[in-house]
Chains A and B, each alone.
Chain A
Amino acid sequence: MLPCGDRALLVEVADGAAVEALRSALERSPLPGQRELVPAARTVLVLLDRQPTDLDVGVLRRLPAGPAGDVPEGALVELPVLFDGPDLADVAALTGRDVTALVRDLSAVELTVAFGGFAPGFAYLTGLPADLHVPRRDTPRTRVPAGSVGLAGPYAGAYPRASPGGWQLVGRTDAVLFDVDRDPPALLVPGTRVRLREVG
């Protein structure tokens, strides 16, 4: 439990599964005055409309800190992906595969939205096997086109709109990732399960 000013607490947990368990628990039974939950890689930021108290700390400590069996399964979203990214061959080489095997393996895995951030609608997808973890590009691109699908470290992600970015780009999707006139506006909200479906 880390201090974070006079309106928030930052809860640090062991891993992504614990983040999801805590986020899910706080979404179902929020603290009084809870205004915002920001799950991240190993933390959940809990923003309140008041000063946090020892009681809040006590409640947060008693919430599940490990993968809980009763986390509801998220909806499944299939992202249609055209695997023609500029870094596809590099990623294949880095992961010791040919491109065909890489595309097959990326399409087979079930990913989960761990958290959002970076830009509206951007989702950090976890669930890649360790042999598909690749480093960021040494030099970030100044402009990554909207819809680009990339990999970085343990994460996969899709850019809702054009922006600078350092992820290794393996393909692109025409899925609408963020739309302010949709509820929810983000296609990929924390907890959502995701498959990358190859399109020709």
Chain B
Amino acid sequence: MLTVLAPGPFTTVQDEGRPGWASIGVTRSGAADRTAAALANRLVGNDAAAAVLEATAGGLRVRAGRTLLVALTGAPAPVLVDERPAPFAAPLTLRPGQVLQLGVPPVGLRSYLAVRGGIDVPPVLGSRSTDTLSGLGPAPLRAGDELPVGTLAGAEPFVDVAPVRAPSSSPVLHVLPGPRRDRLVPAAWVALTGSTWTVTADSDRVGLRLAGPRLERAGTGELPSEGLVPGAIQVPPDGAPVLFLADHPVTGGYPVLAVVTTADLPAAAQLRPGDRLRVRA
């Protein structure tokens, strides 16, 4: 059992998501930075399907109900165990009653806390992820929540620390042309891939809203709704692109100009309001 003493600004339970339901309007969801979540699970010897906590902008404080092996990855916030500094991206043993506190990450947005055995809240449609768009899965954490710990673990881990690079606050994201590049003027592609974009404050797990040059559409014709993928960069009529993340809607009616590569999605998920990014084909 893990008791939530403080959830910080926004913390949810996440796993690999619920693939296979898009045709009935349920998006995949799951950890926004899948690489960091998977690393956290590996550091405690968990099954890849185990659920972790995704803390947005740090601030999470939890108390162990019994001896627990945990690890933190993603946005590198300072870690305290009973007020003493503890390492990041390394397995940590919490003794019964010990309190783990996550500070505020200086770069990056989302930190992941894995507990050996996995966070064992009841799955919904095969996943324990909170889907913020549909409201499926467990509610965002609140102080006082008691989180059961499960048994989704394998062999004992043998890694002491994972040498990982901190996320960048000014990354270059690689894109491929999207399905509706021809619905925008040719200059839109040049502007997308040649400008510096700023992440705006109304960004969340659904997507990043980007401020920069206005991307002009080639015509006024309506596009019927069509399926969306994570990483899709969609251009609404106001010309300000949206880069979709884990909780993206399953379909959308605005043209998708480009799609961020799967390898660069974790970097996109670590961007916070005010960060600047560039896009390269």
Nearest CB in chain A: distance from B108 CB, A: 23
Interface flag for A6 (CB, 8 Å): yes
The residue that A45 contacts in the complex, of B125, B178, B229, with Cβ under 8 A, is B229
- Chain B residues contacting A47 (CB-CB under 8 Å) are 19, 22, 227, 229
Interface flag for B225 (CB, 8 Å): yes
The residue that B227 contacts in the complex, of A40, A120, A180, with Cβ under 8 A, is A40
How long is the Cα–Cα vector from A180 to B20 in the complex, in angstroms? 14
Q: How many A-B residue pairs have CB under 8 A?
A: 116
Nearest CB in chain A: distance from B234 CB, A: 12
B227 touches A43 (CB 8 A): yes
Interface flag for B177 (CB, 8 Å): yes
Nearest CB in chain B: distance from A128 CB, A: 16
Nearest CB in chain B: distance from A163 CB, A: 10
Interface flag for B134 (CB, 8 Å): yes
Q: Interface majority SS on B: helix, strand, loop or mixed?
A: loop
What does the 1/0 interface line of A30-69 toward B look like (CB < 8 Å)? 0000011111111111010000000000000000000000
With A4-B229, A4-B256, A117-B225 in contact, is A38–B23 under 8 Å at CB? yes
B23 touches A39 (CB 8 A): yes
Q: Report the nearest B residue to A181, measured CB to CB.
A: B124
With A40-B227, A120-B136 in contact, is A4–B24 under 8 Å at CB? no
Nearest CB in chain A: distance from B35 CB, A: 15
Q: Report the nearest B residue to A122, measured CB to CB.
A: B25
Q: Interface majority SS on A: helix, strand, loop or mixed?
A: strand
How long is the Cα–Cα vector from A4 to B250 in the complex, in angstroms? 14
The residue that A3 contacts in the complex, of B179, B224, B228, with Cβ under 8 A, is B179
A36 touches B179 (CB 8 A): no
A116 touches B25 (CB 8 A): yes
A38 touches B259 (CB 8 A): no
Task: Tell me the A118-145 residues at the B interface (CB within 8 Å).
Answer: 118-123
Interface flag for B81 (CB, 8 Å): no
How long is the Cα–Cα vector from A37 to B136 in the complex, in angstroms? 20
How long is the Cα–Cα vector from A16 to B134 in the complex, in angstroms? 26
- Chain B residues contacting A92 (CB-CB under 8 Å) are none
B-side interface residues toward A, CB under 8 Å?
A: 19-26, 28, 124-125, 134, 136, 176-180, 224-229, 231-232, 249-251, 256, 259-262
The 8 closest A-B pairs by CB, nearest first: A45-B227, A38-B227, A5-B259, A41-B224, A2-B179, A186-B24, A117-B251, A43-B226
With A3-B179, A5-B260, A119-B25 given, can you name 5 additional A-B contacts, CB distance below 8 Å? A5-B178, A8-B227, A45-B227, A118-B249, A185-B26
8 contacts between A and B (CB under 8 A): A3-B177, A38-B22, A47-B19, A116-B23, A117-B250, A121-B25, A180-B136, A189-B24
